[in-house]
Structure 1
């Protein structure tokens, strides 16, 4: 009898132990009991249901997600505490730790952490930098961790910029168009139908005639130019040429057959056009010495009718300067005038179609030297989606007048006030619909060679062209020679 009692007691103890182990293992991370993004989780995730007497409620393991974030807008970093609280309210088991960085030290901070093998889970960087970190093996592919509902929330074009090969490495925050911007009054005085241009675009020939009309001269002195673009320094010169090249039938350094594109005859057509606008007086002869700050100052002080490159946020900057002028508080740009900023598409060259240049920045997902657990990976995805969608994205993009690229952000923004010009909103949407597609198919080795040619040949030759030290033909020949050397005769476009 005693033996039977001991056996029965042993069986009961074993059953209790197994029950306890099952209860512990059922609450792993990964968010299986919560919804994704900026939606409210099921009641069970925030208020466990204790109605089943004697049953221990399921819990999720605690986890911390780190993010290195620059001042995406003037107000963005001021919202960090609020953002962290909202995320924790949505996911009580998760902590979102936001580390601020300035734009100037963002790359250095990130690279220091990456090189130490301990990067943040998320970093706000350009999609153009994804290939670099993929090559270092420090990015986390989320294609198997994000839900279909997350991916479906995003517009396809900006989401594609987060791809590299077969992987997806985070969520885009915005797709900003590189446009140009005009002074509404000056364009109306010159008889330019800017509203038609906003809806349909314009050719180089139409654009050239328009900017000629914007020039104001007093004898031999020009008091207002038709068009000014910042080109001082390698980065701004590269921007100018790249933005125009996309609208001359060269949306990337390689065509769809992976042949180097800048040996096309259209490249020479473009270089000649750039020189023409300077030589006929529509643009300053000292264009090569104009930096971004001077370019914007010239626009606000009425020294140019159209400026570039123009971002959507420039409308907001112009509006704020107008308010300062009206308030007479002395903080407006010196000698500036009230300006109504009009968003305009870049002209097209050589009979090619509009292919708007864009920049896609976003929340890129990193990993350390060790493989992240599935639970942590899922939690990082939740944080990335939370930042890139819904109310957070709506507030961020409204601050900089950027277009909303998720359905959830568009819905959240519908109830938010903004003083954007509706014609400008429509113009940006038109350009986004004709945006340059992402090219995750370009191999990293080809991309590296193209960058080398750009840095060592294209940029210095282009700066010499702007300074009238060489001809368009001389620059074109130098680029072609370097391309043949790098890619061979069969690796370049011949048309």
Structure 2
């Protein structure tokens, strides 16, 4: 009896020990998974050298973020402006984009179904921090897909010495703007032969991008290829007038005959060398870039003539109002085909907010661009890096803001417009610069291809 009782007790103890052992093992695995997988998350960020010190800014912003959110790791990659867009497009098409990408919002991104809508993550405090009209710069048809870091602004830029030597009242132009005919009158005074036999051109632009034609068409009552209602704009006399204006500048020698072959870097080189009085396009950041270049010339590390930079508005058609190309650039959030879940989406937004908050306003400050948030404007008040006259000129131009049409376009229309620009506008502009096609031939091609691609 006692033996049986003892055997029973030993068996019971063995069961208890085994159960406790299994329970302890199960609990340990659960906590281990929670600690390594559930709690730790990695957010991938692809960005660009937004300004000269942006990588330093990024390191500090992420170090501060890590202290507040030790469970979120952030992997960053700084892409080159030349190769980054293609790398991102390939990743997006493969269904594996980064969680955050530095860009303006784009309807073609939304069309992939991989862009992350942000509205449910925006708190009242975040919304209230944005200055009027700026949060909308990260929206497509009213849905928030991005958080702008600053308002970009396109303009022209002039060499103060050359303008003044030709008797051009650049201060009046900054305050009042100028028309196409007024620009041509100024251009006739700005063109001359230099001592080395080369030509000083009134204007230089590159032949590879669409910035030039887009700025001029906006200043001829055309907001873009399409307007906000999706109606085709580049199919009437306005586009013909714009193309003819450009052709006249080339025929009169106001722009280099080799414009079609000029890369952006060569355009800038000509402006720095005093071979061009005005450069298109120029952003307010040129003010800071050229100030730094002047310091390098003083120190002997760079050879060349120092330049006093003047920010200038784009001239407008005599019968059209002045328009300044502006919009928002910042971070856009994405998910992947293999969705990482809601917790990861929330973490992605936390990183996005950290890279767009008050301290991140240094980007706008460095670039001499308008802030998008009240907290940014307050933090950097009185710390502007640009010359006062150029800051005031940028503020004056901002009163004539022309926001990107794509923010209000149907996704399909936005994608078709992008296709039209790449497949039709780019080669035609090359043909115009090289003299291979007339403005009328190009305008006719726009109408024909517009029907084919845009269905308009």
Q: Normalising by structure 2, what TM-score?
A: 0.84
Asked if the contact 2:102–2:330 (Cα under 8 Å) also holds between the matched residues in 1, the reply is yes
Distance 2:275 2:195 in 1: 16
- Report what 2:119 is aligned to: 143
Distance 2:71 2:337 in 1: 25
Asked if the contact 1:142–1:168 (Cα under 8 Å) also holds between the matched residues in 2, the reply is yes
Superposition deviation, residue 65 in structure 1: 3.3
| TM-aligned CA distance change 1:157 to 1:279, over 3 Å | farther
Superposition deviation, residue 375 in structure 1: 4.5
| TM-aligned CA distance change 1:111 to 1:433, over 3 Å | same
Asked if the contact 1:160–1:438 (Cα under 8 Å) also holds between the matched residues in 2, the reply is no
**How far does the alpha carbon of each residue in 1:389-411 deviate from its partner, in whole angstroms, 9 at most, with x for none?**
211222x2333333322211111
Distance 1:317 1:346 in 2: 20
**How far does the alpha carbon of each residue in 1:305-332 deviate from its partner, in whole angstroms, 9 at most, with x for none?**
1111112221222112211222223x33
Q: 2:377 aligns with which of 410, 423, 429?
A: 410
- Report what 2:296 is aligned to: 324
Distance 1:64 1:460 in 2: 42
**How far does the alpha carbon of each residue in 1:407-447 deviate from its partner, in whole angstroms, 9 at most, with x for none?**
1111111264x541111111122223322123333223233
- Report what 2:440 is aligned to: 473
Aligned residues: 419
1:161 is aligned to 2:127: no
- Report what 2:315 is aligned to: 347
Helix, strand or coil: the match of 2:149?
strand
Q: 2:54 aligns with which of 70, 76, 87?
A: 76
**How far does the alpha carbon of each residue in 1:263-299 deviate from its partner, in whole angstroms, 9 at most, with x for none?**
1311111111111112222222222222211211111
Unaligned runs of 5+ in 1: 1-59
Q: 1:179 aligns with which of 151, 155, 173?
A: 155
Distance 2:252 2:83 in 1: 41
**How far does the alpha carbon of each residue in 1:59-93 deviate from its partner, in whole angstroms, 9 at most, with x for none?**
x9665433222222232223443222211234455
1:369 is aligned to 2:337: yes
**How far does the alpha carbon of each residue in 1:314-373 deviate from its partner, in whole angstroms, 9 at most, with x for none?**
1222112211222223x33xxx21110011110011511122123532111112336665
Helix, strand or coil: the match of 1:469?
coil
Distance 2:218 2:140 in 1: 21
Helix, strand or coil: the match of 1:354?
coil
Alignment of 1:195-206 (within 5 A): 195-206=171-182
1:189 is aligned to 2:152: no
Superposition deviation, residue 384 in structure 1: 1.3
Q: 2:388 aligns with which of 402, 412, 422?
A: 422
Distance 1:203 1:108 in 2: 37
Asked if the contact 1:266–1:350 (Cα under 8 Å) also holds between the matched residues in 2, the reply is no
- Report what 2:253 is aligned to: 281
Asked if the contact 2:323–2:402 (Cα under 8 Å) also holds between the matched residues in 1, the reply is yes
| TM-aligned CA distance change 1:152 to 1:192, over 3 Å | farther
Helix, strand or coil: the match of 2:45?
strand
Asked if the contact 1:87–1:95 (Cα under 8 Å) also holds between the matched residues in 2, the reply is no
Superposition deviation, residue 255 in structure 1: 2.5
**How far does the alpha carbon of each residue in 1:141-175 deviate from its partner, in whole angstroms, 9 at most, with x for none?**
01121112212322444432321234211201222
Asked if the contact 1:247–1:355 (Cα under 8 Å) also holds between the matched residues in 2, the reply is yes
Q: 2:274 aligns with which of 302, 327, 330?
A: 302
Asked if the contact 2:43–2:348 (Cα under 8 Å) also holds between the matched residues in 1, the reply is yes
1:106 is aligned to 2:84: yes
Q: 2:421 aligns with which of 444, 454, 459?
A: 454
| TM-aligned CA distance change 1:305 to 1:461, over 3 Å | same
Asked if the contact 1:87–1:96 (Cα under 8 Å) also holds between the matched residues in 2, the reply is no
Asked if the contact 2:206–2:264 (Cα under 8 Å) also holds between the matched residues in 1, the reply is yes
Distance 1:309 1:85 in 2: 35
Distance 2:79 2:266 in 1: 26
Superposition deviation, residue 184 in structure 1: 1.0
| TM-aligned CA distance change 1:140 to 1:292, over 3 Å | same
Q: 1:431 aligns with which of 379, 383, 397?
A: 397
Helix, strand or coil: the match of 1:307?
strand
Helix, strand or coil: the match of 1:263?
coil
Asked if the contact 1:190–1:214 (Cα under 8 Å) also holds between the matched residues in 2, the reply is yes
Distance 1:108 1:268 in 2: 32
Q: Normalising by structure 1, what TM-score?
A: 0.77
| TM-aligned CA distance change 1:255 to 1:104, over 3 Å | closer
Q: 1:66 aligns with which of 35, 44, 63?
A: 44
Distance 1:79 1:88 in 2: 14
- Report what 2:64 is aligned to: 86
Unaligned runs of 5+ in 2: 1-37
Distance 2:316 2:269 in 1: 26
